Amino acid sequence: MTNIIGVDLGSKGALALLSPAGELLAVEDMPILRDGPAKRPNVNAPLLAAIIYRWGASKAFVEFVGARPGEGPTGAFAFGRSKGVVEGVCAAAGLPVAFITPPVWKRAVGIPPGKDGAKDAARSEAIRRWPDKAALFARVKDDGRAEAALIAVAGLTRKEHHK
C-alpha cells in the first residue's frame, strides 16, 4: 500500500497526502485562480495536476457533495465544476478516486454530525492527530486543510482501500 490523498472540494478546499500509517506528509491549499466569470475562483487543472503527479499516491479519497440547500445556480455550478476538475485530473493521472460523504468521513474520525462548529472541530481534530504539524491548521481558513487530511484518514479506514 502506498500513500493516499484526501481532497476537500471547493475553492476554499485543500489536498492532503498521508502515508499508509496515517502520517501527514503534505498539505496544499486547493490551487485556485480568479480567472472565471466575474473573477470567481476556479480550481486550476494544471496546478492541481502538478500536485497530484508530484505526490505519486495510489488513491484519492474525495468528499462527495452535491448542491447545498439555498445555494444559487452559480454556486452549485462552480462547486460541480470543482468536482469535475478534480475527478478529471485524477483520472488523467491514473489515480483511482473514491468518494466519501461528509457524514461518513466525519463519523470515521469522530467529528459530530451537523454543521455547527464542524470547521473548528475538524481543525481541532487535525491538530490533535498531528501536533507536530499544528501550524498547518492554525488559521480559521485552514479548515479545508484539516478536512482534507481527515478525509484521507477516513479513506484509510475503508475496507476496499485494503484490497
- Walk me through the domains of the chain, giving residue ranges and CATH numbers: 4-162 (3.30.420.10)
pLDDT at residue 72 in the model:
67
Q: Which residue has the higher pLDDT, 114 or 12?
A: 12
Q: Are 14 and 145 in contact (CB under 8 A)?
A: yes
| Residue 133 pLDDT level (bands cut at 50, 70, 90) | very high
| Residue 113 pLDDT level (bands cut at 50, 70, 90) | confident
Q: Are 137 and 146 in contact (CB under 8 A)?
A: yes
Q: What pTM does this model have?
A: 0.91
Q: Count H helices and E strands in the chain, helices first.
A: 5, 7
Residue 123 to residue 102: CA distance in whole angstroms: 15
pLDDT at residue 38 in the model:
79
pLDDT tens by residue, 27-74:
999 999 988 777 888 899 999 999 999 999 999 999 997 666 676 666
Signed CA dihedral, 51, 28, 39, 123: sign only: positive
Question: Which DSSP category does 24 fall into?
Answer: E
**Residues forming a β-bridge with 97:** 60
Residue 79 to residue 42: CA distance in whole angstroms: 9
pLDDT tens by residue, 62-105:
999 766 667 666 666 666 788 899 999 999 999 999 999 999 99
pLDDT at residue 52 in the model:
97
Which amino acid is present at 19? Answer: S
Instruction: Give yes or no for residue 160 having a pLDDT over 60.
Output: no
